[in-house]
Chain A
Amino acid sequence: QSVLTQPPSVSGAPGQRVTISCTGSNSNIGAAYAVHWYQLLPGVVPKLLIYGNTNRPSGVPGRFSGSRSATSASLAITGLQAEDEADYYCQSYDISLSGYVFGTGTKVTVL
């Protein structure tokens, strides 16, 4: 089981703002290991969306933003669009497990 907990699903109407939480512990996010976010769409190669807690790779739209505080992190999508309907995963490193860990995943639905 994952050590990073995300809500199973979030939804919003086009144009709205949604946030996805990623709750960890003092052995991962709380130990200052960076948090990264990925977008998974069926039939599409997984995509790095946010790296180093808050940074967007080249080509990722500005409506995606990340934040981190204490033992948790969040991904926000501002101005939700139909093509944002996908699964989203956070990821970090866990010192207790000596390995990389992913969140439980969140399905975003655009109403």
Chain B
Amino acid sequence: EVQLLESGGGLVQPGGSLRLSCAASGFTFSTYAMSWVRQAPGKGLEWVSSTGGRGTPSYYAESARGRFTISRDNSKKTLYLQMNYLRDEDTAVYYCANHNWDDGRFDFWGQGTLVTVSS
């Protein structure tokens, strides 16, 4: 059974940093692209970033480019999202998902971790 478990969310001040983690199990982690998707309170889903099975290539939404960095440690079966220069509008539940590179779908999702950016 595929399981994705996010952690690392919390309250951070504007301009601060946070690193999210996503522990994976139940599939061959290194062979799957992985992604982060977020949902702001009362809003819809927004793709944030994706990375290939070996950590490259990596792609970012315009809102994340230059501030967020996606990475992975295949030995630990863990995906990361380093978020710097956080803004109020980054407040959201952040989901990790495994990603089918061929057609762009997000196959399995975690339960999400809440990031709140507020002073």
Q: A99-B47, A102-B45, A103-B44 are in contact. Are A34 and B103 (CB under 8 A)?
A: yes
Contact B105 A52 (CB under 8 A): yes
> Which interface residue of B35, B50, B103 has the most chain A CB atoms within 10 A?
B103
- Chain B contacts of A33 at CB under 8 A? 104
Also in contact, A34 and B104, with CB within 8 A (given A45-B111, A99-B59, A99-B61):
yes
- Interface 1/0 per residue, B70-92 and A, CB below 8 Å: 00000000000000000000000
User: Which A residues between 1 and 60 are near B, CB-CB below 8 angstroms?
Assistant: 2, 33-34, 36, 38, 40, 45-48, 51-52, 57
| Interface residue? A91 (CB, 8 A) | yes
Q: What is the chain A residue whose CB lies nearest that of B109?
A: A46
Q: How many residues of B contact A (CB 8 A)?
A: 23
Q: Is the interface of A mostly helix, strand, loop or mixed?
A: strand
A residues within 8 A CB of B45? 38, 40, 46, 89, 91, 102, 105
* B47–A36 touching, CB < 8 Å: no
Q: Does B32 contact A (CB under 8 A)?
A: no
Q: How far is the CB of A97 from chain B (nearest CB, A)?
A: 7
A108 to chain B, nearest CB (A): 15
Given A98-B59, A99-B59, A99-B61, are A91 and B44 neighbors across the interface (CB < 8 Å)?
A: no
- B-contact bits for A89-111, CB 8 A (1 contact / 0 none): 10111000111111111000000
Binding site for B on A (CB under 8 A): 2, 33-34, 36, 38, 40, 45-48, 51-52, 57, 89, 91-93, 97-105
Binding site for A on B (CB under 8 A): 35, 37, 44-47, 50, 59-62, 95, 97, 100, 103-111
